[in-house]
Amino acid sequence: MTRRVGAVAFNTFREAVRDRVLYNLILFALLLVACAPLISEISVGVQRVLLINLSLTAISIFGTVISIFVGISLVSKEIERKTLYPVLARPVGRGEFIVGKYFGLAGTLAVNTLAMTVGFYLVLFLIMRNVTAADTNVLIAVYFLLLQFLVVIGLALLFSSFSSPLLSALFTLALFVAGSFAQDLRGFAGSAHGVARWFSWSASYIVPNVDRLNVITRVAHDEKISAALVGYNTVYALLYSCVAVSGAMLIFSRRNLK
């Protein structure tokens, strides 16, 4: 089973890295990172903070866009091109196909994020003339962004397993935005009563709590991120992705592909 999943993942990775759109997005993100020093010239006293905020936000936004738009096309493209049928005709289960697709895109995102992070450190070194121990703190924020991408890919796969690409993109984006308000939902649940309370409370657990994966501003100010937060965020992101991928597997295994 691992071999079959690995084969699907490898092919997904290979296909994704051939995508020109992907390179355009990465190039755009790197350009934005490279622009940070110019932008900080028109401000006062925030050169390093601005560089970190701008670069990590660019990595986050472009990574999320890639996760959504490549994620939603993973299944639909295979059905549209009819390349799914020869794959499923082999001893590859539908569940294995979904898991392979997930790992393939996760690998692509990991490589992209690594490339963009190297770009960020290069710019940081060029501007600050050195990279200190405090700058390695940024890697935790990058790691959290990667966890965020894993969650988004899972959601994109889940929706694309039963819906059209356009609707899948909309659903994933909507959940991502709603996830940014998860704490507000919880706060609202605390002050609401009856059905509203129950609904808000449930919703706050259903939506991905991506706001807790965003520590960009904190690392920009050299705030230490606790090991407990790193651990819990890792477990949360993996569990949430597991829920999304499992859901995608269940739906896709029952989908009529005729």
Partner 1 sequence: MNRQSTILTSLILIASFASSCLVLQRVSAVYPNSSLEDVLFISSPQFLKRASLGYSGLLADIYWMRVVQYFGSKHLRDSMQYKALAPLLDITTTLDPHLIVAYEWGSTFLQQPPPSGAGDNKAAVALVRKGIENNPTNWHLYMTLGFIQYQGMHDYLAASKTFEEGSRVPHAHPALKVMAAKMLTDAGSLDTARYMWQSVYDQSTDKDIRRNAQLHLACLLVDQEVPQLESIVQSFKAKFGRNPTSWRELISVGAVRGLPVDPTGQPYVLGGNGKVTVSDPKKLPFIHQGKPA
Residues near partner 1 (CB under 8 A):
39, 42-46, 49-50, 53-54, 57, 60-61, 177, 180-181, 184, 210-211, 214, 216-217, 220-221, 223
| Beta carbon nearer to partner 1, 10 or 181 | 181
| Beta carbon nearer to partner 1, 9 or 140 | 140
Min separation Cβ 73 and partner 1, Å? 24
> ∠38-139-131 over CA atoms, to 5°?
55
Nearest to 55 by CA among 119, 151, 129: 119
Min separation Cβ 130 and partner 1, Å? 15
- The distance from CA 193 to its chain's CA centroid, rounded to whole angstroms, is 34
Token couple for 60? 């986050």
| Beta carbon nearer to partner 1, 57 or 234 | 57
Min separation Cβ 174 and partner 1, Å? 12
What DSSP designation does 92 have?
-
- The distance from CA 197 to its chain's CA centroid, rounded to whole angstroms, is 29
The CB density around residue 229, as the number of other CB atoms within 10 Å, is 16
Min separation Cβ 242 and partner 1, Å? 23
Min separation Cβ 184 and partner 1, Å? 7
**Which burial class, exposed, middle or buried, applies to 10 when counting CB atoms under 10 A from its CB (0-12, 13-18, 19+)?**
middle
| Beta carbon nearer to partner 1, 214 or 234 | 214
| Beta carbon nearer to partner 1, 76 or 180 | 180
For residue 242, CA distances in Å to 125, 175, 218, 247 come to 38, 16, 28, 8
Min separation Cβ 10 and partner 1, Å? 33
| Beta carbon nearer to partner 1, 11 or 57 | 57
- The distance from CA 60 to its chain's CA centroid, rounded to whole angstroms, is 8
Beta carbons within 8 Å of 212's beta carbon, 6+ residues apart: 182, 183, 233, 236
